[in-house]
Amino acid sequence: MAEAEAPPYPQPRTCPYQPPAGYREIAESGPVLKVTLFDGRESWMITGYKESREILTHPNLSSLRTHPNFPIVAPRFRSQIARSLALIAMDPPVHDTYRRYLNPHFSLKQVRRMRPEIEKIVSGFVDRIIAQGPPADLVPLLAVPLPSLIICRHLGVPYEDHEFFQDASGKVMLGTEEESATAAQNLVDYIDALVTEQIKSPTDGLLGRLVTERVLTGDIGHEELVSIALVLLIAAHETTSSSLALGVITLLEHPDQLAKLLEDRDRLPGAVEELLRFIATTDLVATRVAKGDIEIAGHLIREGEAVLVSGTLANRDAKFHERPDEFDVLRSDTHHVTFGFGIHQCLGQNLARLELEIAFRELFTRLPGLRLATDVADLPILGAGTVQRVLSLPVEW
């Protein structure tokens, strides 16, 4: 394929855990090529694993979404709120300052302290699934509420409001342009009220601690904390929820691999990494714009040009992974860029890994006969170019 052809991106999935068929052609034209976005504009796309890590640490790559050439991959990301998100839409030095404030609260040490509480929460959800009996839909019974409850506990957000922000965060990520903008504003208004209450009387959750440590000391302002909390609430819920559902489907559709996992549950952490590599829940790991020229893989990306980094394709780069399209829970080369790379690497990756590991362990230990109650081809899939999601996951046991 000639580079000038610039194939369309994104493209919808037809299988929950496999890339769209057209991505194979894109990968074969990589590791650096141009694609055409929904609005007709072109963007560079990085598909190689090595090249993805290289460009994600390049000093001339910018996350500022207010740049006129910043790549918008779907209409819903045009809104002012989406273009001014804390952390995600920031460059150093402001980004680095915010990360420094937040890193201790999401460190591996901090997350490990949360294991007993998460195990108790997961066990409770599985209790309710067993009590209801088959068939059961794991999306509303586990995949959606589990990460919601955990991030609520961590932030200090009232869980009784979880249905509101689950619905709103879903519309922000996967709704129409109007739905996304309205839902984002509703979330901002909701979090603004929470922050106001925390400033009056800080509690023990992360919001309260940030008020005490950063707002009352003058390090950050009220509106900055609202923007930070918005990002944490959406990111912690959407990606983990989708990864959990897609992970269950992938394991059930690969019974030989699930059997290996059940032989030795100590293999679970490695299996989680392989699932993260194989599924690539977030198709893109970066949308950026060049703030200076970038030379990479024999190509010149000029200042002001749009750049996308495909986690889906980088994670299946045949130059880096053996048998990249095979799902193998015993794989040793599970390295992936699903959480990004460089300064913008996902803040909540330790928490996401732990939630997935505990959820898979509990589900497949207590429901050893777990199986899909419908053909995988009949599962409703939503999402192209952002977070991949199944809307229902009926199972039996």
DSSP character string of 131-177: HH-SSEEHIIIIITHHHHHHHHHHHT--GGGHHHHHHHHHHHHHS-H
CA–CA distance, 371 with 368 (Å, rounded to integer): 9
HSE-up (13 A, CA, CB side) for residue 238: 24
CATH 1.10.10.10, domain 3-396, yes or no = no
Q: What is the dihedral of CA 371, 170, 122, 159, to 10 degrees?
A: -150
- For residue 54, the model assigns a pLDDT of 98
- For residue 165, the model assigns a pLDDT of 77
For residue 159, what are its two tokens?
């869980």
Q: What are the C-alpha distances in Å from 385 to residues 43, 132, 218?
A: 13, 35, 38
Give tens-digit pLDDT for 230-251: 898 888 888 899 999 999 999 9
HSE-up (13 A, CA, CB side) for residue 340: 18
SS3 300: strand
Task: Please report, as a single letter, which amino acid is at residue 289.
Answer: V
Strand ranges, E, within the chain = 32-36, 42-46, 61-62, 136-137, 284-290, 294-296, 299-301, 306-310, 371-372, 381-382, 389-390, 394-396
Per-residue pLDDT of the chain (397 residues; tens, 9 = 90+): 344 589 999 988 889 999 998 999 999 998 999 999 999 999 999 999 999 999 999 999 999 999 999 999 988 888 888 788 899 999 999 999 999 999 999 999 999 999 999 999 999 999 999 999 999 999 999 999 999 999 988 998 888 888 887 788 778 777 788 888 888 899 899 999 999 999 999 988 999 999 999 999 999 999 999 999 989 888 888 889 999 999 999 999 999 999 999 999 999 999 999 999 999 888 899 999 999 999 999 999 999 999 999 999 999 999 999 999 999 999 999 999 999 999 999 999 999 999 999 999 999 999 999 999 999 999 998 766 577 889 999 999 9
CA–CA distance, 264 with 82 (Å, rounded to integer): 43
Q: Please identify which residue in the block is written with the tokens 């829940």.
A: 281
What DSSP character marks residue 322? Answer: S
Q: What are the C-alpha distances in Å from 126 to residues 138, 154, 295?
A: 10, 21, 51
Q: Helix, strand, coil: what percent of the chain each, to 5?
A: 55, 10, 35
- For residue 70, the model assigns a pLDDT of 96
